[in-house]
Amino acid sequence: MTASIPEQLLSWYDRNARDLPWRAPPGSAVPDDPAWPYRVWLSEVMLQQTTVAAVKPYFAKFLSIWPTVEALAAASDDDVMAAWAGLGYYSRARNLVKCARVVAARGGFPSTEAELRALPGLGDYTAAAIAAIAFGERAVVVDANVERVVARLFAIEEPLPKARKAIRAAADTITPAARGGDFAQAMMDLGSHVCTSKAPRCLLCPLAEVCAGRKQGEPERLPVKPPKKQVPERRGTAFWITRGGGAEVWLVTRPADGMLGGMRALPDDGWTARQDGAGPPPVAGEGRSLGAVRHGFTHASLTLEVVALDAAGDPPGEGQWWPTARLGEAGLATLFAKAAALAQAAVD
d(CA 80, CA 77): 5
Catalytic residues: 44
C-alpha gyration radius of the chain = 24
Query: What residues contact 282, with CB distance under 8 A and at least 6 apart?
Result: 239, 241, 250, 267, 309, 315, 316, 317
CA angle at 47 for the pair 150 and 97, rounded to the nearest 5°: 130
Predicted local distance difference test score (pLDDT) of residue 282: 60
Predicted local distance difference test score (pLDDT) of residue 255: 83
**Phi/psi at 53 (nearest 5 deg)?**
-60, -40
User: Would the CA dihedral through 81, 87, 91, 92 be positive or negative?
Assistant: negative
d(CA 184, CA 251): 43
Helix (H) / strand (E) containing 249 = strand 248-253
Query: What residues contact 104, with CB distance under 8 A and at least 6 apart?
Result: 69, 70, 73, 74
3-class SS of residue 108: coil
Q: C-alpha distances in angstroms, 156 versus 101, 140, 170, 186?
A: 41, 17, 9, 21
pLDDT by position in tens, the chain (length 348): 555 899 999 999 999 999 999 999 999 998 988 899 999 999 999 999 889 999 999 999 999 999 999 999 999 988 998 899 888 888 899 899 999 999 999 999 999 999 999 999 999 999 999 999 999 999 999 999 999 999 999 999 999 999 999 999 999 999 999 999 999 999 999 999 999 999 999 999 999 999 999 999 999 999 999 888 888 888 889 999 998 888 899 999 888 777 778 888 999 888 775 555 555 556 555 678 999 999 888 778 889 999 998 877 788 788 889 999 998 888 888 899 999 999 999 876
Predicted local distance difference test score (pLDDT) of residue 86: 86
d(CA 62, CA 231): 33
> Is 119 in contact with 130 (CB distance < 8 Å)?
no
CATH 2.40.50.140 for the 5-221 domain, yes or no:
no
The three-state DSSP-derived secondary structure of 293-325 is: EEEECCCCEEEEEEEEEECCCCCCCCCEEEEHH
> Is 283 in contact with 242 (CB distance < 8 Å)?
no
CATH number of 233-347: 3.90.79.10
Predicted local distance difference test score (pLDDT) of residue 275: 54
Q: Encode 268-284: b = buried (16+ Cβ within 10 Å), e = exposed.
A: bbebbeeeebeeebbbe
d(CA 273, CA 174): 46
Predicted local distance difference test score (pLDDT) of residue 214: 95
Report how far Cα 132 is from the mean position of its chain's Cα atoms: 20
d(CA 124, CA 110): 15
How do the domains of the chain map onto residue ranges? Answer: 5-221, 233-347
Beta strands 233-243; 301-310: pairing state:
parallel
d(CA 303, CA 298): 14
3-class SS of residue 217: coil
**Phi/psi at 241 (nearest 5 deg)?**
-105, 120
Closest CA to 140 of 131, 151, 153, 149: 131
3-class SS of residue 107: coil
Length of the chain: 348
